[in-house]
Chain A
Amino acid sequence: MNAQNFADAATDSTAGTERDIKMVARDVNVYYGPKQAIKGVSIEIPTDEVTAFIGPSGCGKSTFLRTLNRMNDTVSGARVEGDIRLDGENIYDSSMDVVQLRARVGMVFQKPNPFPKSIFENVAYGTRIHGLASSRGEMEQIVEQSLKRAGLWDEVKDRLNDSGTALSGGQQQRLCIARAIAVDPEVILMDEPCSALDPIATAKIEELIHELRGRYAIAIVTHNMQQAARVSQRTAFFHLGHLVEYGDTSEMFTNPREQRTKDYITGRYG
């Protein structure tokens, strides 16, 4: 994975000039039946940084995030227009296989959703589906490494055969992150990954996002301004389906260009 070569390069996120771009979206429109949820959004997801999507409820953050790994395909009546590229390949092209796309662009959901299987099997799930491990030993190694990267290994190493649903909410969410990184994706999409968690579990996930940065391109939806400021280097502000402002997080939080962004960030808007 080329992302790993840059693990250390992405320290100065505010430099803002030359950066590797993992995904590019151009003029994306998304419709749910007759209703347009995303209106002409263009954005670039950098390789070595965390991009935060913020905006009031219902503005289309989740919808846009889900276009990036074509999860909207599973919603009946949803239609996506525009051009979205992963390393230059159009992901909506007929030659793009969604199974492979989703192996490359993983996703973590708002509510932890471990499968009702053992911890081991949860992490091994994607690896099995994509046939990535050739032996039991290799599988064990992948599971261990993923759990370690997700910061969960020490807590579960003695009970890998317990059900994943028996873990605490924060542990479940880290298990879901481990499950996502087990297939070695290039991009990880997170939709409000901490909204169901308490402050301590939230802090752990944020710390984890810090550690994963550079290894994976990360896009995260959050309602928490402090969280966006803490974990991201780039921030995109959505409003009513439009991308209002997109730029360096530090810039945006100190000196927003748009009045709407300013109102939202300072809490004057919903």
Chain B
Amino acid sequence: MTFSVALLLILALGVVAWLTARGKAAAFATSARSHSRPGHHGWYVALWAGVPALIFLIAWSATVPGLVASETLSAPAAVQLPADPMERSAVMAEVRGIASGELAGGFHPVSEQLAPIYRSATTRFGWIGFGIAALLALGGGAYAWFRLTPSFRARTAVERVVMIALIAASLIAIITTIGIVFSLLFESLRFFAKVSPIEFLFGTTWSPQTAIRADQVGSSGAFGAVPLFWGTIFIGAIIAMIVAIPLGLMSAIYLTQYAPPTARKWLKPILEMLAGVPTVVYGYFAALTVAPALRSFAATVGIPGASSESALAAGLVMGIMIIPFVSSMADDSIAAVPQSMRDGSLAMGATTSETIRKVLVPAALPGVVGGVLLAVSRAIGETMIVVMAAGLAANLTANPFASVTTVTTQIVQLLTGDQEFDSAKTLAAFALGLVLFLVTLLLNIVALGVVKKYREAYD
């Protein structure tokens, strides 16, 4: 409660600071030629009034619960609290509930006694924070206010704050990524303490169900991930690419070389719309339309091992989904081949298709390869289509009509439903995630490297 009031107060102070400081600066701006414009002075004072107080308020609101809890626990009545940490925290939760008025009473008698203490502590610390924040805002604003002179370089200071804010924004993304990687890494290490990395990386049996009772059958708990890796590559890097590379490349060639400008204007956005279709839509298209059709086809032709969830169904649909990636990367790199190259070839008497085959595509090849690698990395990380259409059976098979499973499917499988958080089964998901992350990262680095090297060739 006091937090939001304090927030509003600080904002109001900031606005007031901005307006008054701007007014002051505008007054002296007319007399002499000042370094900064009135707006900069306004922002300078407003930032001084707002930012320290806001930072304090955020830090304070993070520490208040701890302060309140320790004050409550040091009250005389707290000796009656149970010793067991689990029960203790249950009682404390009751105390909080009663204090905030959400609960009428607690199961444990002591919670009724502690609630008033808790409530008063919360209010007191709230007001303390409010007071300090208000003082900071006023003090900061006043400090900045008195520094304003015609020669004061408010613009430089404001620009620096803007830069710091931008750096902070980009750091958030980077730090989050690093955090995710480390959490993946630590959970994977816990997994590898239970299952050897050799078995995980080279074992060919995947059966993550661990026995709950000792006599349970069919729950061997084998963690050989090779069938998963194979399934992922089979669907994402082989079948999907067999579809996406030729179609994407040919549509890029048509769009850059043959299509009249009006056709290009319409076709390109439509093609790019494919990338905007939610993957779950592709997923049910694959599961409900393509997979049954393929199975009945396989049955008619007499292909053995055909399943209603097949690698081919998932791979074909994924290939369609990936076309815009390949096509727009190829489009960019073909368009980046200088027109003079094309003219040179045509002037030699080459036909358009000879020019494309012998000059444009070879010259654009590194860019195209980069695009394909990015597309592969996207395809192997794709989840929804394979969850819906590829199946769960960890088969090590090259039969595209059979069911295979992928890394992403298994991660979903391992983490949904009931589980303990430190069983090998759950931790395996992190190890799979780590492998996926590393492979995708590698593909991206290689792809960007290839593209960059290629770009240098024409500059």
A107–B349 alpha-carbon span in the complex (Å): 10
Interchain nearest-CB distance for A239 vs B (Å): 26
Which of B23-31, B78-86, B298-306, B335-343 forms part of the interface with chain A? B335-343
* With known contacts A74-B343, A109-B340, A125-B358, A116–B349 Cβ distance under 8 A: no
On chain A, the residues within 8 Å of B345 by CB distance are 115, 125
Q: Given known contacts A103-B349, A113-B338, what 4 new A-B pairs fall within 8 Å (CB)?
A: A76-B261, A98-B349, A106-B347, A115-B359
Chain A proximity mask over B134-176: 1 for CB below 8 Å, otherwise 0: 0000000000000000000000000000000000000000000
* Interfacial residues of chain A within 98-113, with CB under 8 A of chain B in the complex: 98-103, 106-107, 109, 111, 113
Determine if B59 is an interface residue (Cβ-Cβ < 8 Å): no
Interchain nearest-CB distance for A121 vs B (Å): 9
Name the prevailing secondary structure of the B interface residues: helix
Determine if B181 is an interface residue (Cβ-Cβ < 8 Å): no
* With known contacts A76-B260, A111-B340, A115-B341, A129–B347 Cβ distance under 8 A: no
Chain A proximity mask over B353-371: 1 for CB below 8 Å, otherwise 0: 0100011001100000000
Q: Judging by beta carbons under 8 Å apart, are A99 and B349 in contact?
A: yes
Q: Judging by beta carbons under 8 Å apart, are B349 and A71 in contact?
A: no
Determine if B351 is an interface residue (Cβ-Cβ < 8 Å): yes
Interface residues on B, range: 20 to 34
Which of A153-161, A175-183, A199-207 forms part of the interface with chain B? A175-183
* With known contacts A115-B359, A125-B358, A74–B349 Cβ distance under 8 A: no
Q: Judging by beta carbons under 8 Å apart, are B347 and A115 in contact?
A: no
A19–B84 alpha-carbon span in the complex (Å): 114
Beta-carbon nearest neighbor of A189 in chain B: B347
On chain B, the residues within 8 Å of A125 by CB distance are 345, 348, 350, 358
Determine if A69 is an interface residue (Cβ-Cβ < 8 Å): yes
A-B contact pairs, 15 of them (CB 8 A): A69-B347, A71-B343, A71-B347, A74-B342, A74-B343, A76-B260, A99-B350, A99-B351, A103-B348, A109-B344, A109-B347, A115-B363, A116-B363, A126-B350, A129-B349
Q: Judging by beta carbons under 8 Å apart, are B343 and A129 in contact?
A: no
Beta-carbon nearest neighbor of B364 in chain A: A116
Determine if A117 is an interface residue (Cβ-Cβ < 8 Å): yes
On chain A, the residues within 8 Å of B344 by CB distance are 109, 113-115, 176, 179
A100's contact among B341, B349, B363, by CB below 8 Å, is which?
B349
On chain B, the residues within 8 Å of A230 by CB distance are none
Q: Judging by beta carbons under 8 Å apart, are A129 and B350 in contact?
A: yes
On chain B, the residues within 8 Å of A210 by CB distance are none
Determine if B214 is an interface residue (Cβ-Cβ < 8 Å): no
Determine if B438 is an interface residue (Cβ-Cβ < 8 Å): no
Query: Which 6 residue pairs spanning A and B have beta carbons closest together?
Result: A102-B349, A107-B347, A113-B340, A103-B349, A126-B348, A113-B344
Interchain nearest-CB distance for B446 vs A (Å): 21
Q: Judging by beta carbons under 8 Å apart, are A113 and B260 in contact?
A: no
On chain B, the residues within 8 Å of A180 by CB distance are 347-348
Q: Judging by beta carbons under 8 Å apart, are A106 and B362 in contact?
A: no
Beta-carbon nearest neighbor of A112 in chain B: B340
Q: Judging by beta carbons under 8 Å apart, are B341 and A183 in contact?
A: no
Beta-carbon nearest neighbor of B261 in chain A: A76
A129's contact among B261, B342, B348, by CB below 8 Å, is which?
B348
Determine if B346 is an interface residue (Cβ-Cβ < 8 Å): yes
A113–B343 alpha-carbon span in the complex (Å): 9
Determine if A130 is an interface residue (Cβ-Cβ < 8 Å): yes
On chain B, the residues within 8 Å of A116 by CB distance are 341, 362-363, 457
Interchain nearest-CB distance for B175 vs A (Å): 41
Determine if A165 is an interface residue (Cβ-Cβ < 8 Å): yes
Q: Judging by beta carbons under 8 Å apart, are A102 and B347 in contact?
A: yes
Interchain nearest-CB distance for A142 vs B (Å): 14
Beta-carbon nearest neighbor of B359 in chain A: A115
Chain A proximity mask over B50-62: 1 for CB below 8 Å, otherwise 0: 0000000000000
Chain B proximity mask over A157-190: 1 for CB below 8 Å, otherwise 0: 0000000010000000000100110010000000
Interchain nearest-CB distance for B336 vs A (Å): 12
On chain B, the residues within 8 Å of A130 by CB distance are 349
A4–B343 alpha-carbon span in the complex (Å): 28
Beta-carbon nearest neighbor of B352 in chain A: A74
Chain A proximity mask over B14-57: 1 for CB below 8 Å, otherwise 0: 00000000000000000000000000000000000000000000
Interchain nearest-CB distance for A232 vs B (Å): 21
Most buried by A among B338, B346, B358: B346
On chain A, the residues within 8 Å of B362 by CB distance are 116-117
Beta-carbon nearest neighbor of A117 in chain B: B362
On chain A, the residues within 8 Å of B343 by CB distance are 71, 74, 109, 113
* Interfacial residues of chain A within 58-106, with CB under 8 A of chain B in the complex: 69, 71, 74, 76, 98-103, 106
On chain A, the residues within 8 Å of B359 by CB distance are 115
A52–B379 alpha-carbon span in the complex (Å): 58
On chain B, the residues within 8 Å of A98 by CB distance are 349
Chain A proximity mask over B306-330: 1 for CB below 8 Å, otherwise 0: 0000000000000000000000000
Most buried by A among B344, B346, B349: B349
A109–B362 alpha-carbon span in the complex (Å): 21
* Interfacial residues of chain B within 259-273, with CB under 8 A of chain A in the complex: 260-261
Q: Judging by beta carbons under 8 Å apart, are B363 and A183 in contact?
A: no
Interchain nearest-CB distance for B340 vs A (Å): 4
Q: Judging by beta carbons under 8 Å apart, are A179 and B348 in contact?
A: yes
On chain B, the residues within 8 Å of A102 by CB distance are 346-349
On chain B, the residues within 8 Å of A114 by CB distance are 344
Interchain nearest-CB distance for B361 vs A (Å): 11
Q: Judging by beta carbons under 8 Å apart, are B346 and A71 in contact?
A: yes
Beta-carbon nearest neighbor of B337 in chain A: A116
A53–B340 alpha-carbon span in the complex (Å): 21
A172–B340 alpha-carbon span in the complex (Å): 13
On chain B, the residues within 8 Å of A69 by CB distance are 347
Most buried by A among B260, B344, B348, B350: B348
Beta-carbon nearest neighbor of A176 in chain B: B344
Q: Judging by beta carbons under 8 Å apart, are A113 and B350 in contact?
A: no
Most buried by B among A71, A113, A176, A179: A113
Interchain nearest-CB distance for B344 vs A (Å): 4
